Structure 1
Amino acid sequence: MKLVQWVFLLVSLGAGAAGVYLYYAYPFLALPSPWGLLPLYYLLPGAYLVGLLVGGLFALALWLRGLWERRGLLRELRRLRGEVEALRRERVEEIPRIPDRDEA
């Protein structure tokens, strides 16, 4: 997990550094849009942040789905334990005692 955190930090710093580099080296680069010209030094870190946001939403959805599945599995486990307990009460088997052995 620490490796993933370090990679995330380095990629984030790289995206920010690329935006700063574009700001100082090529401030005139811009892409046309319906809202006017958008400078490239805003678009690169902005695209990275949008990707980060979408990835976070997918991670949140995956986590919530896991919670939902866990809840269903625990409900099924409780149901099966209840069935096993009912079968045990219904069919009591007597364990024969050997008189010369200690109880375990």
Structure 2
Amino acid sequence: MKLVHWTFLLVSLGVVGAGLYLYLTYPFLVVPTPWGPWPLYLVLPAAYALGFLVGGLYALALWLSGLGARRVLLREVRRLQGEVNALKRERIEEIPRIPDREDL
């Protein structure tokens, strides 16, 4: 997990650095959008932030589906434990004791 955090930090710093570089070197570069021309130094961090947001929503959906699957599996485990306990109650096996040996 540390590797993921460091990678995220370095990529984020790289995007901020690239945006700052574009702002300082090529502030006149613009990207045509339906809402008018946007400067490239703003589009790059905005696209990164949008990708981060979509990735976060994907991770949230994956986590929620994992919670649902976990709930289903725990319900199945409880059902199976109930069946095993019922079988144990039906058929109690006694351990034979040998008189001359110590209990372990």
User: How far did residue 87 of structure 1 move?
Assistant: 0.3
| SS state at 1:43 partner | helix
What's 1:55 paired with?
55
User: How far did residue 67 of structure 1 move?
Assistant: 1.3
| Percent identity for Structure 1 against Structure 2 | 69
TM-score under structure 1 length normalisation: 0.94
Runs of 4+ in 1 over 4 A off after TM superposition: none
Cα root mean square deviation, aligned: 1.0
User: How far did residue 103 of structure 1 move?
Assistant: 2.2
Residue 41 (structure 2) pairs with residue 71 (structure 1): no
User: How far did residue 27 of structure 1 move?
Assistant: 0.8
What are the superposed Cα offsets for residues 29-76 of structure 1, whole Å, 9 maximum, x if unpaired?
Answer: 111122111111110000000000011111111111111111111111
User: How far did residue 14 of structure 1 move?
Assistant: 0.5
Distance in 1 between residues matched to 2:80 and 2:93, nearest whole Å: 20
User: How far did residue 24 of structure 1 move?
Assistant: 1.1
Q: Which moved more, 1:56-65 or 1:38-47?
A: 56-65
* Aligned length, in residue pairs: 104
Distance in 2 between residues matched to 1:34 and 1:94, nearest whole Å: 80
User: How far did residue 102 of structure 1 move?
Assistant: 1.9
